[in-house]
Structure 1
Amino acid sequence: MTIQLPTKSFFIPQPPDDREIFWAMQRYPDNVKVYHPHGSIDGTSVFWHNQLQPNALNFAAYVDPQAPDQSALFKRILNDLNKLADKFSDQQLITSDYAPQHAFNQWLTTQGFQLAQTLHLATVATKELPAAETAPEKAITVLSVADLKKAGLFEQFLSISLQAFQAQAVIRPATNLSKTAWQALICRQLILEIPSVAIDDNHQIMALSLAYQPVSGSAELRLVTGTNQLANQQLWAYQTKWLKTQVTTVSTYFQSADLLGQGIEQRLGQPRFTTYETYIQ
């Protein structure tokens, strides 16, 4: 008998509730496990692996708030996940979700899981973005990733973006990623046309801010780096002009300790904030 996977409205009658489990079930349907000890679906779990943490089992799990014997079901789900980790010789279990955490994830913190990373997610309509003026600065040139490729600077872009990602990652990524693998990861859904880097007269990248487009009409800023304040300001000014004319909403995904990311958040005006937390055992 084929079991219909639960949807958002199955567990949560009043969406939206952007729980990780619903995204994960759609992306990894073959890795879903459904728990129905009492005849109806009481919970689900799903696992996956990625190139950035090759020795970790990533998972999402959710238990119906109305399910009976939740404590026993919590233990059963975690026991199954530990068996999977042993099967794949994984050294860590990783799960992420939006705050406030649901009951199962709260329970995980009593089982050795610790908060490892907090991301601030800020979303605003681009029509509400405060205008950012570009300053005349001959020593700084702002380019898109498409322009970088034409200028022969793409290899430098790959190296600097990988260094920035590894330096900022709280959950340490794989250190032996090839440039080919990194290019495939970083360029997926990357907006090539938006101004993304600032370079100096020697064609060295001074600042970098990458925007992605998971769905039409929106943009997400996920990786920024740069130590030159003027270059950072110039880049943001050019990005703001592009965003205002090309998309309707923009979101930022930055760690709570990312000062440069926080600076961008402060320039968004009055965005809507949410928090995304990652726990590791």
Structure 2
Amino acid sequence: MYGSLLANVSPDRKIKETIEQFPQNTQAYYLGNKPVGLMTCWQNAFHPYSLNFAGYLAPRLTSVEQMQVYEQILTDLTAKAQKNHQNALITYDYAPQLLFNAIGQKNGFKLIRTTVEPQMPLKRALKNILIDTDLQLVTLHEIKKDSVMMNKLAQVSFSDYQKNHLANPVAKIPLSEWSKTIFTDQLEHAPLALIAAGQIKAYCFSFEDASQELTLGWMGAVKPNLLDQLQQQLLNWAQAKYQTLSGEFDSTDPLATRTYRKYAFNLCPVYETYLKELF
């Protein structure tokens, strides 16, 4: 439907992805009878206080036309957010940003997070480090047998998630819902957490997003060196089955950022998140 307007836009751009996901929420903008802009929006149940959207402006417009269409899109988005009792607009895409988001950066949208999803050969991440034998290493298979410890891990990881998303706050959800999110795809027999005196000292979720690829997910620790120990034990376990190591690392998560910098990951695109507070 919008093929001519988006003909030169890469398939991995957010606007192309989301107009397919949310066609019912997509709106076109015209100058005369020519489509020159697009907007689509959606809700994120985990982050309900901001309206998620993707916007697009045709690059051939004059600067006056750009601002005219940009302001119309922003007015419509603001009205939708206020109707939903949301206090911010949030958008994300790969750097460098397309025209709409580039204009947004000069008009109240602030960069709140960058995200990378790099890869590297798993064996290249293996290191020789000392392991504290006083710490108990547990897998999901083992922790399922201890409901108290399983709840502690859910509570700790949710608290960390909240701290890492202060700019776009997390909904007040039942712990059972969060538990379902984090444990559903966790590898059953992969090292998951280090425990001492009945407390979670470090955790690192891991998933198999692709064949022979181990992906690092949510992580946390009372001390960074304990996370190092856990990750090395995880990698040692994984090397028999996996060849590639990957992960999703947000700049708002200090331990995720540390992990990304610690290993020699390949260069990859940077995903940027921008937020504009409405009031």
The answer for the alignment partner of 1:98 in structure 2 is 94
- Is 1:171 the counterpart of 2:150 in the alignment? no
Which of residues 233, 251, 266 is equivalent to 2:261?
266
The residue correspondences of 1:10-159 to structure 2 (distance < 5 A) are: 10-12=7-9, 15=10, 18-37=12-31, 41-66=35-60, 69-119=65-115, 121-127=116-122, 129-133=124-128, 135-152=130-147, 153-159=149-155
Change (3 A) 1:38 1:58: same
Q: Distance in 1 between matches of 2:131 and 2:158?
A: 30
TM superposition score normalised by structure 1: 0.82
For each residue in 1:2-28, what CA deviation from the matched residue of structure 2 results, as whole angstroms up to 9, or x when unmatched? xx354997232xx4x632223323433
Which piece of structure 1 moves more, 151-160 or 135-144?
135-144
Structure 1 CA distance for aligned equivalents of residues 132 and 193 of structure 2: 15
- Asked if 1 retains the 8 angstrom alpha-carbon contact of 2:120 and 2:264, the reply is no
Is the partner of 1:62 in helix, strand or coil?
strand
Establish whether residue 198 from structure 1 lines up as the match of residue 194 from structure 2: yes
In the alignment, the residues of structure 1 paired with residue 13 and residue 23 of structure 2 have an alpha-carbon distance, to the nearest angstrom, of: 16
Detail structure 1 runs of 4+ shifted over 6 Å in the superposition. Answer: none
> Which residue is 1:232 aligned to?
227
Shift of the alpha carbon at 1:216?
4.7
Question: Does the 8 A contact of 1:141 with 1:199 survive in 2?
Answer: yes
CA contact (8 A) 1:243 1:250 kept: no
Q: Which runs of 5+ in 2 are unaligned?
A: none
SS at match of 1:143: strand
Larger mean Cα displacement after TM superposition, 102-111 or 40-49: 40-49
Separation in 2 of the partners of 1:198 and 1:278? Answer: 32
Do the aligned residues in 1 keep the contact of 2:120 with 2:265 (CA within 8 Å)? no
Does residue 241 of the first structure (1) align with residue 236 of the second (2)? yes
Map residues 175-194 of structure 1 onto 2, 5 A cutoff. Answer: 176-187=172-183, 189-194=185-190
Alpha-carbon distance in 1 for matches of 2:184, 2:104: 32
Number of the residue aligned with 1:277: 272
Tell me which amino acid in the other structure corresponds to 1:28. F
Change (3 A) 1:52 1:26: same
Change (3 A) 1:210 1:67: farther
User: Does the CA contact (< 8 Å) of 2:5 and 2:35 recur in 1?
Assistant: no
User: Counterparts of 1:245 and 1:38 in 2: how far apart (Å)?
Assistant: 62
Counting matched residue pairs gives: 273
For residues 6 and 233 of structure 2, what CA distance do their matches in structure 1 show? Answer: 41
- Shift of residue 243, structure 1, vs aligned partner: 4.3
SS in structure 2 at match of 1:74: helix
- CA distance in structure 1 between the partners assigned to 2:53 and 2:27 by the alignment: 11
> Contact 2:37/2:58 (CA < 8 Å) preserved in 1?
yes
In structure 1, list runs of 5 or more residues that go unmatched.
none
Q: Deviations over 1:75-94 (max 9, x none)?
A: 22212211211222221111
Residues 251 and 270 from structure 1, CA distance in 2 versus in 1: closer, same or farther, beyond 3 angstroms? Answer: closer
1:255 partnered with 2:247: no
TM-score, normalised with respect to structure 2: 0.82
Alignment RMSD (CA, Å): 2.9
SS at match of 1:150: coil
SS in 1 for 2:41: strand
